[in-house]
Every structure is written in structure tokens, then in C-alpha cells.
Amino acid sequence: MIETGSLIRSLSGRPAARNFHTFVINEIGQSIVTGKFPVGSVLASDAVMMETYGVSRTVLREALKTLEAKGLVEARPKVGTRVSPRSRWNFLDPQVLAWFFDAPPDTAFYESLFRVRAALETPIIELSARRRTAEHVRLMKYWCHQMEIAGESLEQFGLACLEVHGVLAESAQDPLLRSVIGVVELTLALALTRDRAMPAEDYRAQSAALFVRLTSAVENGEAEEALRIFAACRELDRGQTM
């Protein structure tokens, strides 16, 4: 399972610790999502993939089982392992979402991401304004400050912003709503690496300022104001992404 924040950390170019199992999953999964291995195509034989990725049959088979559980491939007797139709992919899987960072730009897909964010973030904010504790507020203020002092570090800013989203989800005290974090991480990574609506430094400054105001609204239990500010945060990310 991918660790929350892994995609944001990758923006700094720091190499991740190599694990053969996750390495093969990432190589094949990213190749499928980015279109290198098209939908309907049959993957190479075990022998070829073992040589390509430098792994044992056991590691390869376990990786393919993981990808099958994510809906990306299906094994068929006498046919091999075939790339599944996109309708079967688990798009809320954080690892699958992370692979879309390197995929060709897709406006329709980005629109879908922001629709899902809006659908899940609205109840999060409403619940957070009612259920937050003093500790939740303290953590939100801390991470907002980290956003403000991140400077040119995309990693520090992105991780701090993701932490604010995480605290909000925790404060809502609804475990299923937390599934939005994978969607948020992808849209945030896309926004941080594009200069669409405004220069990157202006985007980060405006985003930090909005989150400070959001924290204040949640702390004061002002659900409607918090929703309005959070919608502005989302539109800011959308403007940078599309």
C-alpha cells in the first residue's frame, strides 16, 4: 500500500528506498495508467518480465496479484495477463491515482477529480466545524504555519498542505470520507508543478492564506464560512491544474 505523501515527496526528486515488490508494481502499474501498456493488451511472458525487471517469479506473481486486486489486469488461462478496461480500475486507490501524475493531461479526468473532491470535502468541512477538538485546531495551525514558511520547497509546502487536509478529515470523525486524501494528493501535486493561472509562488502564498482563514472558521464552528473558503482552496488548485 502506498504511503500518504509519497507522491508529494517524489516532487523533490529524492529516490525512494528500493523494494523489488513495490518496484515491479510501480513499473507495470505506471506503464498501464500512462498508456505504455494499452487497455486490452497482453503483458509479456513471465520469463520476459522477470528479465526486464530483474526479479524472481515469486516477486513478479505477487506484483501481478496486487495489480489485479486494483483492477488493472486480469489473468486468463492460455491467454496470459491482460490489461483490464478502465471501467474496472480502482480510481480511489491512492497508488493508482499517483500513477496518473505522469499520464498525459486529461481534462475530463481532472474535472472528475475535482467533482469527487467537492463531493467528499463538503461533508468533511461541515462535520469538522462541529466535531473538531482543540488538538485538531492546534495541528491545523501548526501545519498552516509550515505552509507559510516552506519557501521554495515544494515538498515541505505540499506535505504541510496535505497534513491540513488529513487533520480536517480526522476531525470529521468519518473514516470513509478520508478516502478523499488520495484525490487531494494528486490534485495538489499537479497544482504545485504547473504555472497555469498564476506564478507558483503566488499560488502557494494564496493557498496558505486561505488555509489560515479556513482554520479560523473551523475553530469558530462557522461551517458556512469554512465551506466557502474551502471551495476557494479547491478552485485555486483547479486553476493551476487545468
Q: Are residues 177 and 118 in the same domain?
A: yes
Q: Mind listing the pLDDT tens digit for each residue in 21-53?
A: 899 999 999 999 999 999 999 999 999 999 999
Q: Give the Å distances, CA to CA, from 126 to 73, 187, 223.
A: 38, 22, 5
pLDDT of 101 > 70? The answer is yes
Query: 198 and 237 share a domain?
Result: yes
Q: Mark whether 199 and 124 lie in a shared domain.
A: yes
- Which residue stretches of the chain are H helix? 6-10, 20-33, 46-53, 57-69, 94-99, 107-131, 134-148, 154-172, 180-192, 200-219, 223-241
- Is residue 205 in a domain? yes
97 within domain boundaries = no
Which of 88, 118, 150 corresponds to the end of one domain?
Answer: 88
**Same-domain check for residues 81 and 109:** no
- Specify whether 230 is located in the same domain as 119: yes
> What is the value of pTM for the model shown?
0.90
Mean pLDDT of 88-100: 95
Same structural domain, 11 and 79: yes
Read off the pLDDT of each residue in 152-170 and give the average, rounded to a whole number: 96
Residue span of the structural domain in which 54 resides: 6-88
**What span, in angstroms and rounded, lies between the C-alpha atoms of 143 and 165?**
10
Averaged pLDDT, 144-170? 96
43 and 69 both lie in a single domain: yes
pLDDT at 105 over 60: yes
- Residue 96 belongs to a domain: no
- pLDDT for 17 beyond 70: no
**113 and 218 assigned to the same domain:** yes
CA gap 173, 160 in Å, rounded: 20
**167-210 pLDDT, tens digit each:** 999 999 999 998 899 999 999 999 999 878 899 999 999 999 99
43: CB partners within 8 A, 6+ apart: 28, 37, 49, 73, 80, 81, 82, 83
Q: Tell me, what CATH number does 164's domain have?
A: 1.20.120.530
C-alpha torsion angle, residues 7, 8, 13, 19 (rounded to 10): -40
Q: At which residue does the C-alpha cell 486507490 appear?
A: 93
> Is 1 among the domain residues?
no
Residue 150 shares a structural domain with residue 119: yes
In the prediction, which pLDDT does 18 show? 61
In this structure, the answer to whether residues 75 and 119 fall within a common structural domain is no
pLDDT at 15 (0 to 100): 55
Domain count within the chain: 2
By percentage, how much of the chain surpasses pLDDT 70?
Answer: 97
Average pLDDT over residues 118-142: 97
